[in-house]
Amino acid sequence: MGLDIYAGTLTRYYSHNWKTTVQQWAEENGYTFQKITPDGEAANDGEEMSPAEVQAAVENWRDQILSAISQPGQPPYTPWPEDNEKPYYTDKPDWDALGAMLLVAACHTYGEPVPPTVEKDWNFGEHPLVARLGSDEERVWSLFRGATWWIPLADSFLFQAPLPTGDQAMIATLGGLRKELERLNGMTWQADEDTILDWADTEGYPVDGTVGPDGQYGKADIPEHTEYDTQSLAKVAFSMFWQAMRFAEERQVPILLDF
């Protein structure tokens, strides 16, 4: 089960009017792509709502959520715009890179050395430092509390609520995510924005294969990687989250994790 990050309107997301980076690559290279859900079923099966119906449903959900979290005596939160045309941002950190980013954050928070590598498909939630920061009552990070949605509000808080599908999820805010990313960068790399943006292209997973002189891609001649450079994975995940955060701020749209 892979992990993608999406920043855009909920209407586009639930109307399936967006493509993951893998889908985009497959189409560009003449391959077919079928997304499979965690229970093994093909995604998007079943009766589909029209984009107009989806928009009405998510706007109703949005308004209910904003009403529920508005503070007494304060002006209500302004609803973010929904439609099926606004641009979106997406990329694919996958779980190993997200875990590496959380591990780097936890190590620096508690003054511990960062392990040089992480194993492929490692269970980062069971790492003692990641688990410690996830339950630290003095340091509440949405990234460590299981948040999978960030709605476009400047205030910083975290709450559990049903999604438009009825599934329960931990929801946070863009304002909170920005503070967390700035805190992580400040206590680790202290990189400027240009450097952060470059990491999406210069850091990340090693390639499990080679391109031969005939232009064909092959994996048979090299062993598959079973461990990754922790810092490189952390940086590529950070770059993707940073780009999603900046995109969502500029366009006032949510961020969510798709898996």
Determine whether 42 is exposed, middle or buried from the number of CB atoms within 10 Å of its CB (0-12, 13-18, 19+): exposed
Between the CA atoms of 207, 211, 212 and 217, what dihedral angle is there, to the nearest 10 degrees? 100
Task: Determine contact, residues 180/141, Cβ cutoff 8 Å.
Answer: yes
**Residue 131: band (very low, low, confident or very high) from pLDDT cuts 50, 70, 90:** very high
Amino acid, single-letter form, for residue 153 = L
In angstroms, what CA-CA distances link 103 with 20, 98, 99, 132, 191? 26, 9, 6, 11, 18
Give pLDDT tens digits for 40-66: 444 554 457 899 999 999 999 999 999
Distance CA 108, CA 106 (A): 5
Give pLDDT tens digits for 194-216: 999 999 999 999 875 444 454 44
**Residue 129: band (very low, low, confident or very high) from pLDDT cuts 50, 70, 90:** very high
Residue 38, pLDDT > 90, answer: no
Distance CA 103, CA 240 (A): 16
Residue 204 confidence (pLDDT): 92
Q: Is 239 helix (H, G, I), strand (E, B) or coil?
A: helix
Give pLDDT tens digits for 227-251: 999 999 999 999 999 999 999 999 9
Task: Determine contact, residues 78/250, Cβ cutoff 8 Å.
Answer: no
Give pLDDT tens digits for 159-203: 999 999 999 999 999 999 999 999 999 999 999 999 999 999 999
Residue 47 confidence (pLDDT): 59
Residue 31 confidence (pLDDT): 59
- pTM of the predicted protein model: 0.86
Please report, for the chain, the start and end positions of each structural domain, with discontinuous segments joined by +.
4-258
Residue 36 confidence (pLDDT): 44
- Range list of β-strands (E), the chain: 4-7, 89-91, 117-119, 147-151, 159-162, 168-173, 210-211, 217-218, 227-229, 255-258
Give pLDDT tens digits for 70-85: 988 888 899 999 999 9
Residue 49 confidence (pLDDT): 86
Pairing of strands 147-151, 117-119: unpaired
